[in-house]
Structure 1
């Protein structure tokens, strides 16, 4: 069902697991600042210590080996490597930390996939305008080239930016994520645009300067629900579903993989809503300049983060202020038959992932796909016997196998979110996604495998045996 060189992985992010928020010369990030304010995160919790992976990396490695992973996705803390966000000052202790992580992985036949940016912008750059500034594309490119130059002899799978949709909407539209701005209908589009520009610059730098000698691959991680009409017989719901996908999936996939520009329905809806509201400023959805490196074609594979699905209906009349939601004019709801896993938004629909994979294949001309995040949460009392969640994983992985075997989708790997229970952004430690439980109440941050972790290990072993290989390949 899965090819012998299939990547079996788990994923983490620096701010969510590392702790050591000011250790050994690390600079503050926007999430340090956000969490140190009051009333922004569940019970005012923070990632100051979290899993303490900065000091307990060997414990994490033990978990990785226990699972039998072939790949491990991690992110670099930009502020740990470059405390002020620029190469004017390189933090050697930060470099040494990631050198050790990468070298230890490779010594154990585990290949690293590295994300350069997973939500945690250095605060020094935020103070200069952050992602709202057009200058960020060049600054990010310099950071990316530093990482390619320093680690690219060993890292062959790169993600430039994780979930630009979430960064833009949650951080600049809804104010629920760092930097906590609520500038509805305007800033999120600017932020998303600058992230695409930054990604494109970094991809072109890799392609020009490093690909020939390093032989790696670069992409960005796009998150998307699967969406289908609430009433398949309703033309309004069908159209709303297309808008829903355009404003989530298409916002970042269309420019990179398909047209070099935003989806037409996205641009037309934003322009129409601007006219309706008498908006007089510069166009809210920016245009790509011909004077800059093209964003089209700047991905060597498709990196997909999938968690849930939605049934979509038209919202009807959109009055009031400009916002992304009113521009989209589509409402996603969950099907009552889908079990809800932990948090209210995470309705489990494994078939949705298969549907989305097939949609990507058919819409974007069959790219290579890595599922870079997929997971199921728990809340409430800790239960290591998470049999139901283990079943969700198995069902989902079977749907991925069907997408490969029956639909001809070129899926190259699956990364579970997450290796460890960790700091889950605004939800703090109230939500747990780990294959391993972390005891945050104890000084040792002890790791203990959930049943879902043990079953995932069995699944990996089974499919690798069926594929007739126990040897890691890099193709």
Structure 2
């Protein structure tokens, strides 16, 4: 009788046009160490480049820092209880490299740091919540920054030593790993624009060297897991991609090419080496040609050796995708060859937004829900990964409890992700919304709030309060469906 009841329910669901997420779909939320933990100088933790950058006057709005943030270093049990209350079954968090290795090297391992993450993972497992762990979410140990940071190819070896220690200590309980979060943001904002740590404005050169070193570091960690831990631990490892979708301003071939170039420079810069073995050809050609015209005897885009191509190619067991917004782009044909090269000059693309798209509190974030479906189809067709997890997708406001803008944003994006699964056959297995908590939003400090849970940063106890979006999202999780 039960069997026929299930069949009838399915028929009714289909007849009513309802779509349902797969039964084992991973619904969760996300956060990152520097943005939520606090405890910046407690229990043997070393300094990170974000500790120093945030403490430098003028770098962060209102002089905010992550010294206390959400105080999740002390309140992790409360965070896990909230995840469980909402019915979530996966939590994406990152490990603070200097909390484990105070100077970034294996010469000193901080047991208190290991204990913190062991206790967090234990708490998650007891609540039947899957940990999805990011090894690096931007808080580079200061010592390694002083050795050249993401411009130093040796950083790949340091990262490998760190990854091995993390895999050894936590890998039996972690099945989903991300090596680096949004390396493109680190490279563009930290080394090209200079508005994130380490605050360097080395345009047109450091951004590509940073990307090169990031890929080497990712591949190093991937192969350490593959050869030393996979057989016993059975997990999956990937690099995180932060990609947007792009629309041509006109139907011209030039603007169509601007779309392709935007995808290459912003997404393919990491996806192509991992899935195809080299940089996108458009990047290779354009940067080489512009470098030559600028007087260089070499391309500003580093060449991979054949060994490096082989090491990087194939190092993704799934796609971790951060997707927030879309852009309208057009070709610019008259970007000059000037005395100072830059990423923007190499790309030669203008960009804007459709005026009909709702805007968030962030100057860069606009809501275009269909973009995520277009992007998933593009990534599937271009790279053919086995599966996707949407690891960041969110909306900023000023912290209102009745956050209807966030609900509208998530409803639109989740609906399009569901369409991609059901109608397009794309294997999206999970979604970790950004973010669980209001937190330290990098250069914006606490002026922008992405959380589904409000944190009172004026209260020493950092009181947490569910917003309307948390209750709405919990309903989606419990039913597997999105209300019209």
The alignment's TM-score, normalised by the length of structure 2, stands at 0.94
Unaligned 5+ segments in structure 1 are 467-475
Offset, 1:273? 1.3
Secondary structure in 2 aligned to 1:56?
helix
1:46 is the counterpart of 2:65: yes
Aligned residue for 1:153, secondary structure, equals helix
Aligned-pair CA distance for 1:108: 0.6
**1:234 Cα shift?**
0.9
Deviation digits for residues 357-397 of structure 1 (CA, Å, limit 9, x no counterpart): 11111111243000010000103xx4201123212211211
User: Aligned runs of 1:107-118 on 2, under 5 Å?
Assistant: 107-118=126-137
Output aligned runs, 1:253-292, within 5 Å.
253-257=271-275, 259-280=276-297, 282-292=298-308
Give, in angstroms, the shift of residue 316 of structure 1: 2.8
Aligned to 2:236: 217
- 1:176-202 CA-to-partner distances (Å, cap 9, x unmatched) read 000000000001101110110010111
Q: Mean alpha-carbon deviation: is it higher for 337-346 or for 169-178?
A: 337-346
User: Partners of 1:195 and 1:328 in 2: how far apart?
Assistant: 20
For residue 362 of structure 1, give the secondary structure of its aligned residue in structure 2. helix
Give 2:7's aligned residue.
none
Q: What residue in structure 2 maps to residue 145 of structure 1?
A: 164
Contact residue 4 and residue 464 of structure 1 kept, 8 A: no
Report the equivalent of 1:204.
223
Question: Do residues 60 (structure 1) and 76 (structure 2) align?
Answer: no
Whether the 8 Å CA contact 1:366–1:409 is kept in 2: the answer is: no
Determine which of 403, 415, 423 is the counterpart of 2:420: 403
Large movers: runs of 4+ above 6 Å? none
> Does 2:377 match 1:361?
no
Query: Is contact 2:387–2:428 with CA below 8 Å preserved after alignment?
Result: yes
* 40-49 vs 456-465, greater mean Cα deviation: 456-465
Name the SS for the 2:471 alignment partner. helix
Q: How many pairs were matched up? A: 461
* Mapped contact 1:225–1:306 kept (Cα < 8 A): yes
Q: Which residue of 2 aligns with 1:384?
A: 401
The Cα of 1:14 is off from its aligned counterpart by 0.0
2:265 maps to which residue?
Answer: 247
| In 2, Cα distance between equivalents of 1:98 and 1:365 | 34
Equivalent residues in 2 for 1:115-134, closer than 5 Å: 115-134=134-153
Q: Give the match for residue 310 of structure 1.
A: 327
Partner of 1:393: 410
Alignment of 1:75 with 2:91, yes or no, is no
Work out the CA distance in 1 between the residues paired with 2:482 and 2:349.
45
Q: Distance in 2 between matches of 1:465 and 1:402?
A: 11
What is the CA deviation profile of residues 433-454 of structure 1, one whole-angstrom value per residue up to 9, with x for unaligned ones? 0010000001000000110111
Question: Which deviations, in whole Å up to 9, do the C-alpha atoms of 1:141-185 show, x marking residues without a partner?
Answer: 111111111110101100000001001010000000000000000
Structure 2: runs of 5 or more not aligned: 1-19
Q: RMSD of the TM alignment (CA)?
A: 1.3
**Cα distance in 2, alignment partners of residues 139 and 335 from structure 1:** 44
1:84-124 per-position Cα deviation (integer Å, ceiling 9, x unaligned)? 10111011100000000000000110000000000110001
3-state SS of paired residue (2:238): strand
Matched with 1:166 is: 185
Q: For 2:422 and 2:191, how far apart are their aligned partners in 1?
A: 41
Distance 1:230 1:65 in 2: 45
**Deviations 1:41-99 (CA, angstroms, capped at 9, x unpaired):** 10111100110100111221122112211100000000000001011101110000000
Instruction: Return the match for 1:135 from 122, 141, 154.
Output: 154
For 2:17, the equivalent position in structure 1 comes to: none
Distance 2:459 2:127 in 1: 29
1:291-323 deviations in whole A, cap 9, x for unaligned?
445101001001100000011101231123210
- Whole-Å separation in 2 of the counterparts to 1:463 and 1:291: 45
Q: Which residue in 2 is equivalent to 1:294?
A: 311
**Contact 2:476/2:482 (<8 A) preserved:** no
Q: CA deviation at 1:132?
A: 0.7
> Partner of 1:73: helix, strand, or coil?
strand
CA distance in 2, matches of 1:465, 1:118: 31
Report SS of the residue matched to 1:348. coil
